[in-house]
Structure 1
Amino acid sequence: MPKPRELQPLPVPPGTGALEVLPALRRALDGEGPALLPVAADAPGQAQHLIGPLNPGEDAEHDPTALVIATSGSTGTPKGVLLPAGSLRASAEATHRRLGGPGEWLLAMPAHHVAGIQVLVRALIAGTTPRAVDTADGFRPDNFAAAARELPASDRPRYTALVPTQLSRLLNDGGEGLDALRGFDAVLLGGAATPPALLARARDSGVRVTTTYGMSETSGGCVYDGVPLDITEVDVDGEPGPIRLAGPMLARGYRNQPDAAAFAGGWFRTGDLGRFADGRLEVLGRADDMIITGGEKVAPLPVERVLAEQPGVHEVCVLGVPDPEWGQAVVAAVVADPAARPDEEALRAAVRERLGAVATPKRIALVDELPLRGPGKPDRRALAEQLTC
């Protein structure tokens, strides 16, 4: 019996330093050497419980496990998502087919998360050399523009991937950062729900934005602008109902969880709720984020979309907090423009008019920033603790 392959950490530096992992990543995609667990270089002990020999069923000689991605751990200890080389390749190739062919890629987000490392994977699959944004001082539009100028001049398409916060910063700053963004043939946008107003503003500004839906378990985005990639099957059981995904981009399963129910029957049960509208998948948020208030169900995402459209609102997260009368009360945490703070009653009125009284927040908390887990994703657990103190 052959010796089990090892899972070893792959420390990923931030910013331009992330490009240092390309040789190791190439070997992993080719099935050479150990499987790799990308971790932030400044937190090398992250997900240490996942390190060690791969178990039976976690690897395959014909399609070796290349990467294990540690999930962001919203429900406790991070899980390790087992991604075979074949799944990563299938995802990258399907992305190129949808966008217009293999191209030049600019990395603008942390590469120890699936959205970031897939930028590097796509470049390797395309046979191109990616560039990366200098993030030593955080994400800055001038550094984005400088990195974009470093992309090779060729007839290949130019691509990048952002989270909504980065897109908003580039739009607000204008100037050379926005000019550079307009030069990309596609800007993948994911990591968190995109407010419709932000999306419309980007497209009105000449930015070719493509929204993505996916997760570590699907090798990143697998539904673009609501339409599945040509390798992706989508099933929604109900209207709305739980979303299931299938296709060659799926992970092998979870590390140390051989019988994980989420992967039963060749489908991945995402834990999200959705529906099809005009032939496109509309994601309504996590099933476990659903708020039960006074016996009625309220999905946070539609409330967030209404609030995000209001003047003076920069970011918003809606959640349920314990309430002695309602069971859960709908509460909105809002990051507001300091120079034009929105009127709280006007915000509530906007929700009431569009979604009804049940969905109207009982409380609106103005906060300086939203706690995050992963690139651009609000940490609802931390925020709930903050708002119930």
Structure 2
Amino acid sequence: MGIETVLDMALSVHPDRVVVGRRSSGLTCVRLDDLASRGATVLREHDARHAVFVGVNGPALPVLTFATARAGIPIAPLNYRLPTDQLASLVAQLDRPVVIADPVYAEKLTGVADTVLTTDEFLGAATSAERSEFTAAGDDATAVVLFTSGTTSAPKGVLLRHRNLLSYLFNTVEFASAGEDQAALVSTPPYHIAGMGAVLSNLYSGRRMVYLPDFSPQGWLDLVREEGVTSAMVVPTMLARVVEHLKGAPARTPALASLAYGGARMPQPVLERALAAFPDTGFVNAYGLTETSSTIAVLGPKDHRDAIADPELRARLSSVGRVVPGMEVQIRADDDTTVLPDGATGLLWVRGAQVSGEYMGKGTVLDENGWFPTRDRARLEDGYLYIGGRADDTIIRGGENIAPAEIEDVLVRHDGVREVAVVGLPDDEWGERICAAIVPEPGVALEPEQIRTWCRARLRGSRTPDDVIFVDDLPRTPTGKLVRRDLVSQVESAASV
């Protein structure tokens, strides 16, 4: 059984429901099924072993997702923002790829594979192809190849098998639970696990998918209002831009019942302003990794409401919530074997059927008992999971381990600080020195010593930044993840001036 089962199940209960696109012109379940089956024929005719997708959100993504499943090959969505040479390098790692790209990207991809089709050409061919019956590859076959964002190292191709994706879906989503009036706005890109997960989870629940190809705060708000969007998923930078755009005014999105965020750390001041702007919306923090087929833990709407209402619970807003059904977690010491008690900070390991932990050309990194090393530092407290950042980001100053997030969470509450990131730089005396890169609020003049005094009053002296620099922006991926290697270079250059 593969992910094509999701489409088969949806087809059996609401064949005529619009499941992709706008209410007035979207694809019904029957039409999606037909295009996917005929699209599988197109892929077979090109003798494809991988279908590469390079494009923005739109109807082509769900069609291609289920066409590849029915053809028994993986889909590999790539970051369309990458330069041609990097895209070509990723395509070259895939066996017999057929590239399907939006017209604006197809031209620059000429020659990277034997077959390069525009999305229009693929959908046109799928419309006229014969509908053939194929035997799916089975639940142990690879369904999706997603390349990691490469924020700390070269991108790696994560292999997500059908069974990984279905396990996540069956454990966390209720089949056919959505009413016909429910719609999900998908603005996370196809090459992100949340973008691929949205295709499966929304179709499985029966929720119509509305796509926003190019994000802008006003465009996002307009689409939510026009299409009666009831749920949406954003990354923190998107939510920050929406909140800033509103300038303290209410969002006025009465249909929006659920707003999920994830993919990177959410600054708590941004979250608190968002909760005020969307007073009738239930907020959900979803924490997961590409290697885990999406969500590991969820902080739900009630958790958010309780934390805002009770100052003693406010700290829970900085957690990622409780572990989802079907998943197990352990906090281990740096020796990778000693399991730490609740409240202790260590390395997060996870286990469950949804976990892949497998990389193309590299094999699995699961230990002998099936545990996956996330490389995130974390702690469990009262059943809530708190993420302290990547283990590689830890600053070791004078033999003391310091999580950048601990300092960032304090500095971002300064009224003059818009964004902040903390990194470590080599230091002859202390091993590493703490450097804070700050994006000031527009029109605000800050001084390094002012920032150091603020931090020293709220944290131990050893956590006070040794260096403070001011920058126009922080280097981030399109999904909001901080590119620390680029920031370190930026900070080193500023510190040497």
TM-score strictly above 0.5: yes
Partners of 2:227 and 2:141 lie apart in 1 by 32
1:111–1:117: 8 Å Cα contact kept in structure 2? Answer: yes
- Which of 80, 84, 88 aligns to 1:45? It is 88
Q: Counterpart in 1 of 2:195?
A: 116
Q: Counterpart in 1 of 2:73?
A: 34
Q: Does 2:289 match 1:215?
A: yes
Q: Counterpart in 2 of 1:367?
A: 471
Q: Does 2:13 match 1:13?
A: no
Return closer, same or farther for 1:32/1:134 CA change in 2, 3 Å cut-off.
Answer: closer
Partners of 2:51 and 2:455 lie apart in 1 by 46
1:235-292 CA-to-partner distances (Å, cap 9, x unmatched) read 112211110111222126111112x434542111100111112220111111111101
Q: Counterpart in 1 of 2:159?
A: 82
Q: Counterpart in 2 of 1:234?
A: 329
Q: Counterpart in 2 of 1:129?
A: 208
Q: Does 2:143 match 1:143?
A: no
1:130–1:151: 8 Å Cα contact kept in structure 2? Answer: no
Q: Counterpart in 1 of 2:273?
A: 201
Return closer, same or farther for 1:95/1:75 CA change in 2, 3 Å cut-off.
Answer: same
2:58–2:213: 8 Å Cα contact kept in structure 1? Answer: no
Task: Output the TM-score relative to the length of structure 2.
Answer: 0.68
| Shift of residue 234, structure 1, vs aligned partner | 1.3
Q: Which stretch shifts more, 197-206 or 294-303? A: 197-206
Q: Which stretch shifts more, 283-292 or 320-329? A: 320-329
Partners of 1:273 and 1:211 lie apart in 2 by 18
Which amino acid is 2:141 matched to? P
Aligned residue runs from structure 1 range 183-198, under 5 A? 183-198=255-270
1:93-131 CA-to-partner distances (Å, cap 9, x unmatched) read 444359x86853211122211122222222222234311
| Shift of residue 353, structure 1, vs aligned partner | 2.3
Which amino acid is 2:59 matched to? L
Which amino acid is 1:74 matched to? T
Q: Counterpart in 2 of 1:107?
A: 186
Which amino acid is 2:329 matched to? V
Q: Counterpart in 1 of 2:168?
A: 91
Question: Of the two structures, which has the highest relative contact order with CA contacts closer than 8 Å and spacing of 6 or more?
Answer: 1
Q: Does 2:167 match 1:72?
A: no
Which amino acid is 1:346 matched to? Q
Partners of 2:210 and 2:389 lie apart in 1 by 33
Q: Which stretch shifts more, 174-183 or 70-79? A: 174-183
2:138–2:162: 8 Å Cα contact kept in structure 1? Answer: no
1:190-233 CA-to-partner distances (Å, cap 9, x unmatched) read 11111122222222331422112111001122201210111221
Which amino acid is 2:458 matched to? R
Return closer, same or farther for 1:140/1:289 CA change in 2, 3 Å cut-off.
Answer: same
Structure 1 unaligned spans of 5+: none
Q: Counterpart in 2 of 1:247?
A: 352
| Shift of residue 184, structure 1, vs aligned partner | 2.2
Return closer, same or farther for 1:42/1:194 CA change in 2, 3 Å cut-off.
Answer: closer
Partners of 2:457 and 2:137 lie apart in 1 by 55
SS at match of 2:458: helix
Which amino acid is 1:141 matched to? P
Partners of 1:72 and 1:325 lie apart in 2 by 34
| Shift of residue 314, structure 1, vs aligned partner | 1.5
Return closer, same or farther for 1:263/1:220 CA change in 2, 3 Å cut-off.
Answer: farther
Task: Output the TM-score relative to the length of structure 1.
Answer: 0.86
Aligned residue runs from structure 1 range 186-335, under 5 A? 186-205=258-277, 206=279, 207-225=281-299, 226-237=321-332, 238=340, 239-251=344-356, 253-258=358-363, 260-262=364-366, 264-335=368-439
Partners of 2:329 and 2:94 lie apart in 1 by 32
Structure 2 unaligned spans of 5+: 1-46, 98-135, 300-320, 333-339
